[in-house]
Structure 1
Amino acid sequence: MKHKIVDEAERLFWKYGVKSVTLDDISRRLGISKKTLYQHFSDKEDLVYQVVVNHFNAKKENVNCHKIDAHNAVDAMLMLSVMVRKYADSNNPNLLFDIERHYPKAWEEYRKYKEEFVFASIIENLEWGIRDGLYRDDINVEVLARLRLESMHLAMDEAVFPHDRFGLTDIQIELLHHFLRGMLTEKGFTIYNQFNHEL
């Protein structure tokens, strides 16, 4: 039952945002009493924390699977654009900002995921691309990894990209391609163009 509650809460949180979804909403949606819900979670903060841990563990697994399937660094980077197309529009960009403001324990999990796993994955990709001659060897790997990391978060900021004017998928794809094209060698561009032609 705990796993079922976490899955349903995640669906609701990502669709509507954390703040607007209550424990009553979740228990009604699952057809269970709040008493049953409280047998598994001490309060909403505990549930939000479990949802965040579950969500980012699944994302880690997904990213690692894509790394295994990728033939090279450009391929791996562009596979992320396919993931973004698949999932971004089903997510509510307000969710992370709700968590940042109201759920510090869950926010710390997101921060660790971003700073440790995502940052390390970007560094790994950039170094792989340089070794294979697909990315320019004069790039500052740490600076560009930070740039990519922060641009992913920036895309969800409504103050910068108002949701009524910009789709989250479009922003993320645009930023990813802009980032990638600035690093590519001629050899890298060949792979980049071939991948885009096949989409």
Structure 2
Amino acid sequence: MRDRIIDKAGEMFLNLGFKSITMDDIARELGISKKTLYKHFSKKTELVDASTEAVHNTINETIINIKEQKYNAIEEEFTVKAIFKEMFKNAKTSPMYQLKKYYPETYTKLMEREVCMFRDCNIDNLKSGIAQGLYRKDLEIDLIVNFYFTLLFGVFESEMYGSEMQELIKVEYKILEYHIRAIATEKGLQELEKQLKIINKNN
């Protein structure tokens, strides 16, 4: 039952917002009593923590599965983005924006995990891209990872881009393109153009 509650709450939080969804809403959607819900989670904050951790774990597992497919480095980056786009297709506003505004402690804990995952994944991607001849050999990997992190997560920190999720996804794609253009070889730029054509065809 606990896992079922976490899954449903996570779905509702992502699609409708962390603030607007109440414990009553979750119990009603699951067809259970509030007593049963509170038996597993004594307050909403605990459920927000558990659901965000579950989403983080799902994302981590998804990235691991993508890496096992042995895509080239640039194809891998766009595949991850496509999965995220599908995962958050029904989200109205940015989950990160909501967490930071309404559940700052949960946001801080989540960001600590996200930073580690982001860093490890991108170091691996950069090394693979260099080995494949898609990224330049002269890259300062740690610096590039920090640049990319600042650009990507800065979108959620700033009010400049708003909080509407589908618009933020478009911005993320532009940031990815910007990132790859800055580090790619001629071969890498050709692969980038290939991926951009696929996106344009699917949109």
Equivalent-residue separation in structure 2 for 1:93 and 1:155 (angstroms): 13
Equivalent-residue separation in structure 2 for 1:181 and 1:150 (angstroms): 17
* Aligned residue in 1 for 2:47: 47
Supply the RMSD in Å over aligned alpha carbons.
2.3
Equivalent-residue separation in structure 2 for 1:171 and 1:197 (angstroms): 17
Amino acid at match of 2:43: D
Is the contact made by 1:89 and 1:168 (CA closer than 8 Å) also made in structure 2? no
* Aligned residue in 1 for 2:95: 95
Aligned length, in residue pairs: 199
* Aligned residue in 1 for 2:191: 191
Equivalent-residue separation in structure 2 for 1:172 and 1:40 (angstroms): 36
Is the contact made by 2:94 and 2:163 (CA closer than 8 Å) also made in structure 1? no
* Aligned residue in 1 for 2:156: 156
143 and 88 in structure 1: CA distance in 2 versus 1, 3 angstrom threshold? farther
Structure 2: runs of 5 or more not aligned: none
107 and 157 in structure 1: CA distance in 2 versus 1, 3 angstrom threshold? closer
- TM-score, L = length of structure 1: 0.88
50 and 170 in structure 1: CA distance in 2 versus 1, 3 angstrom threshold? same
Equivalent-residue separation in structure 1 for 2:177 and 2:25 (angstroms): 39
- Note if 1:122 corresponds to 2:114: no
**Alpha-carbon offset, residue 198 of structure 1:** 4.6
Is the contact made by 1:84 and 1:172 (CA closer than 8 Å) also made in structure 2? no
- Note if 1:66 corresponds to 2:66: yes
Is the contact made by 2:177 and 2:192 (CA closer than 8 Å) also made in structure 1? no
Q: 1:153-174: per-residue Cα shift (whole Å, max 9, x none)? A: 233356111356x712211111
% identical aligned pairs: 26
71 and 89 in structure 1: CA distance in 2 versus 1, 3 angstrom threshold? closer
Is the contact made by 2:15 and 2:90 (CA closer than 8 Å) also made in structure 1? yes
**Alpha-carbon offset, residue 105 of structure 1:** 4.8
Structure 1: runs of 5 or more not aligned: none
Q: 1:85-104: per-residue Cα shift (whole Å, max 9, x none)? A: 32343234443233234435
Q: Secondary structure at the match of 2:156?
A: coil
Equivalent-residue separation in structure 2 for 1:163 and 1:45 (angstroms): 22
196 and 96 in structure 1: CA distance in 2 versus 1, 3 angstrom threshold? closer
